[in-house]
Amino acid sequence: MKAHHQNNCPILATHEKYNEAVYFLFKTMEAYHSPEEFRFNLNAFIQAFRNITFMLQSESVKPSNFERWYSQKQLEMSGDKLMRAFVVARNVIVKQSMLATRSTIRAGLFRGRDMKMAIQLEISPFTPTLCVLGQCIRTMVGTFVDEKHSDIGEQLGVERKWVVEEVGDEEIVGLTIKGMEYIGNLLSEAHALYDFEYEPQDFSSVDMKKMMVFLESDVDPDLPKKWGW
């Protein structure tokens, strides 16, 4: 098999669409605590994700065994609950409707990013996590934690979890990663049909806890120093 570079990719349009999906997935993760930005990036991800297979089908040069391989893949994808759910979600977006997103919050005391004590709240999907954390600081300093934060490593924080009903009951970024792993393998197989070796994006280093937990020191990184930690 031939080594793959960006300038010899046999399915460049498809591959670019895959890279676009990766890009928007990372943007979605970065915006986890800013609801509007989160939704915009997630919508862009879902559309790019759907377009990967559209692009693949319309590549102009196809090896002779392509159609047989792809019809097998189509059958497999239509039997896959998650892949079907992404198609539904994409159709909701392009019909200019909004996805049914839900946000749950657990707010309280954290050691590092591990939750020690928290209360659970259903909040509006439009509320930025920063507002919830501000509320926590106003009500929990003095009970959950002393003002000086004298227990080193312990501070207030908020764990947020996004669920998109059309895609599934589990946390959405985890589901998008599963979807991307599936499509990454498909992309790799597609390259192999053209006799190219391609390793898809590795998502194993994504730190879900770092993404979902928003701490006082994320707002102001100088706080630990001020607390004398």
Residues of this chain that bind Zn ion (CB under 5 A):
9, 15
Closest approach of Cβ 46 to Zn ion, in Å? 22
Rounded (10°) CA dihedral 142, 151, 114, 166:
30
Closer CB to Zn ion, residue 9 or residue 85? 9
C-beta closer to Zn ion: residue 17 or 39: 17
**Structure tokens given for 101:** 């997103």
Residue 9 vs 31, nearer CB to Zn ion: 9
* Shortest Cβ 200–Zn ion spacing (Å): 10
Question: Is the distance from CB of 215 to CB of 163 less than 8 angstroms?
Answer: no
Decide if 158 contacts 106 (C-beta within 8 A): yes
CB atoms within 10 A of CB 68: 8
Instruction: Rank residues 9 and 193 by Cβ distance to Zn ion and give the closer one.
Output: 9
Largest CA distance in the chain: 70
Least distance from Zn ion to the Cβ atom of residue 57, Å: 16
Quickly tell me which residue has 């979807």 as its tokens: 179
Least distance from Zn ion to the Cβ atom of residue 8, Å: 8
Minimum distance from residue 49 beta carbon to Zn ion (Å): 17
Least Å distance, CB 25 to Zn ion, is 18
Pairs from 120-128 (Cβ < 8 Å, separation ≥ 24): 125/35, 125/39, 125/101, 125/162, 126/35, 126/36, 127/35, 127/103, 128/33, 128/34, 128/35
| Between 4 and 178, CB nearer to Zn ion | 4
In angstroms, the CA 33 to CA 208 distance is 13
Length of the chain: 229
Closest-approach residue to Zn ion (CB): 9
Burial class (CB within 10 angstroms; exposed 0-12, middle 13-18, buried 19+) of 159 = buried
Q: Measured from the CB atom, is 15 or 106 closer to Zn ion?
A: 15
Whichever of 53 and 217 has its CB closer to Zn ion, that residue is 53
Task: Give the number of other Cβ atoms within 10 Å of residue 134's Cβ.
Answer: 13
Minimum distance from CB of 188 to Zn ion (Å)? 9
